[in-house]
Each structure stands twice: as structure tokens, then as C-alpha cells.
Amino acid sequence: MHGTLMRSALMLLALAPLAARPAGQAPEAGTIGGRVRLTARVRGVPLPANAYQPRAVNRRDAGSTPEIKNVVVYLKDAQYRGALPTTRVAITQEHEAFTPRVAAITRGSTVEFPNADPFFHNVFSLSGPATFDLGRYPQGQSRLRAFTRAGLVKVFCHIHSHMSATILVLDHPYFVVPNLDGTFTLPQVPSGRYTIVGWHERIGEQSAAIEVGTGRAVTIDLALPVIEAP
């Protein structure tokens, strides 16, 4: 009897770390930290081939959001085990602009598009991962759209052609928008070798190789040539 109780107690102790571990968290993980620096682009140097050129950037919106908040840092082609966590974010239509202009979400998440302007908007996209048209709706109303496929989604307004936004839909949660000072942290990254990407709508991807070790914090800096040279 005593031996049976002892074996049961040992089994519970062995299972306790597994039970305490959140769903999807890797048993061997580390942390990636670093900083994104926005640098001047050299004149005459072409943008990367994967950069998406939007129709235009609304001049009234250009100075309202710090450029660093239009950057997304993520791991390219990272694998995630378990149920993918989803969120609900808002991209507001205000002053004839989308705010924020860039958003990153996990596949299966929902984006809300509230209209804060005193006139109609009509949000739509013809992107491969998500083709939709939310129709015309007035101030005070909102529309929802769930994004079930990973990829780059460009969003526009049928009524105001200068409006554009970008939604990055990813198959994993290893992404982040940097802080105002450019710093960022990606916690609970499974150990292994990765390609880390700094993405901006005007230049596309700037990437670097990185290796994450169990229980370790690795640091990397990314430079994005976003600023127009004088």
C-alpha cells in the first residue's frame, strides 16, 4: 500500500510541470529582445522586391502615428504547437485615414472597422488571403471581419482612394510591434534557429538569422531604411 501511494505521488510530481504549462507554450523556450532602428535610405537603391507599394499615404495621417509603430517584428515560417491564440483588434476610420495603418494578428483573429468620420466609408480588400467588401456604412457604425488565412492583406476604401492599411496575418504568435523607442521582446520562443524579420510597408522585409537557446535571452538589432534621405 505504501509503495502504491509513493508511486502515485511521484507521478503527480512528474505531471505537475506539464499541467502548469500554458497551452501552446514550448517545453524548451527562450526570449528574443532587441531594438529596431529606422535609418535613411540611400538614394538610387531600389526597394526590396517584396515591398508592397500602397496607393498613397494620407498626408493628414503621415505625421499622426510614429513611423516605428508601422513596423512589425516576427519570426518567419515559425511553427506553433497547440491551439493558436486569437484576438480582436480595431482599425478605425478617422480623418479619412485608417488608424492604426498597420496591424498584426494571428490567423483566426477578428478585425473591427469602426467609422468615426461624419460621412460614409466602404472598407474592402482584393488580397489573396482575404477578399471582402464590407459595404458603405455611416459614422458610429462598425463592421467585423475574421481572417482565416495567413498572409499580407491590403485594405482600402472604395470612397476615398487615398486610404490604405495593411494587416499581417500570421500562423504563430511570435510577433510584436516595437515600442516607441524601438525596443521589442518576443517571449516564450521555442529553442531553435530562426529568421527574424523587421517589416515595414514601404520596404518589405529586412531579415537576420538568430538562434534561441533554452532559458536564454538573445539580443538582436534590426535596421530598416525607412527614412527618406534629404
pTM: 0.80
| Percent of the chain whose pLDDT exceeds 70 | 78
**Which CATH code for domain 80-173?**
2.60.40.420
Q: What is the pLDDT of residue 54?
A: 46
Q: Could you tell me the three cell numbers for 80?
A: 506553433
CB 50 within 8 A of CB 197: no
End-to-end Cα spacing for the chain: 82
Q: What is the DSSP string of 62-75?
A: HTTS-GGGGEEEEE
* Helices first, then strands: H and E counts in the chain: 2, 17
CB 52 within 8 A of CB 205: no
User: In the CATH scheme, what is the homologous superfamily, with its name and number, of domain 27-53+66-78+176-230?
Assistant: Carboxypeptidase-like, regulatory domain (2.60.40.1120)
The domain locations on the chain are: 27-53+66-78+176-230, 80-173
Q: Could you tell me the three cell numbers for 121?
A: 466609408
pLDDT in tens, 59-68: 444 447 899 9
Q: Residue 49 pLDDT > 80, yes or no?
A: no
pLDDT category at 34 given cuts 50, 70, 90 is very high
pLDDT in tens, 88-129: 999 999 999 999 999 999 999 999 999 999 999 999 999 999
pLDDT in tens, 12-28: 333 333 333 444 445 58
